Amino acid sequence: MPPLILASTSRYRQELLARLRLPFACVAPHVDEAALPGEAPAALAERLALAKARAVAALHPDAIVLGSDQVADLAGEALGKPGTHDAAAAQLRRMSGREVVFQTAVAVVAPGLAAIERAEVRVTVRALTDAAIETYLQADQPYDCAGSAKVESLGIALLDSVVSDDPTALIGLPLIRTCALLRRAGLEPLA
C-alpha cells in the first residue's frame, strides 16, 4: 500500500485524520495561500486544497496525498486566519449576528488520481459584545483558525447554530468526504 501523507502542518487536521486510525506522515506543502483577484471563497478553498496536495505529491509521487483548506465566507468575502488578537477581535465583531459559511475543501492526489470534495458549513454567530469577544479570545486564542473561532472548544458559545452534513468540516478536515476520497485512491479506512 502506498504511504498516506497529509499535506499540512495543521495540528487540527492531524488530530482529525488520526481518528481514521491510518498511519500517515505530515509534510508542509509550501503553497502561497493568497487569494487570486476576484476569487470566490469556495473556489479559493478548492484551489488551495488541490495545490497543497499536488505540491507534496510532486515530492512523493508514489504516495496518497491529502490536501485541505478552509475559508470563512462572510457575504462573499473570504476571511482567513487572523494571526493576531486584534485581527481576530475585528473578525468576530464583523461576524456578530450574521451567518458565515465555512468552505472546507479536501483533495487527494495519488498515482493516476487527482480529486477534490468540498463541504459547506453554515454557522450563525450570535450577537456578540466586545466583552464576550475579549473573554473568548483570551481563553481560546484562535489566531490560527479561519473565522477566529474553535467550535470544538469554547468557540461553540459564540454560535446560535451550525448546519452541515459533514460534522468535522468546521474543524478543518471533512472526514466523511476524506474517507470517500481515500476509497477512490484504493485505501479503505475500515479494512
| Residue ranges with strand state E in 22-147 | 25-26, 64-74, 77-79, 99-110, 113-125
For residue 80, the model assigns a pLDDT of: 85
For residue 183, the model assigns a pLDDT of: 97
- What's this model's pTM, rounded to 2 decimal places? 0.92
| Cβ neighbours for 58, distance < 8 A, ≥ 6 positions apart | none
Overall average pLDDT of the 31-57 stretch: 96
Domains delineated in the chain = 4-184 (3.90.950.10)
Active site residues: 69
Overall average pLDDT of the 101-109 stretch: 97
Overall average pLDDT of the 7-29 stretch: 96
Residue 38 has pLDDT above 90, yes or no: yes
Quick count: other Cβ atoms within 10 Å of Cβ 96?
A: 16
| Cβ neighbours for 30, distance < 8 A, ≥ 6 positions apart | 55
For residue 84, the model assigns a pLDDT of: 97
CB 74 within 8 A of CB 98: yes
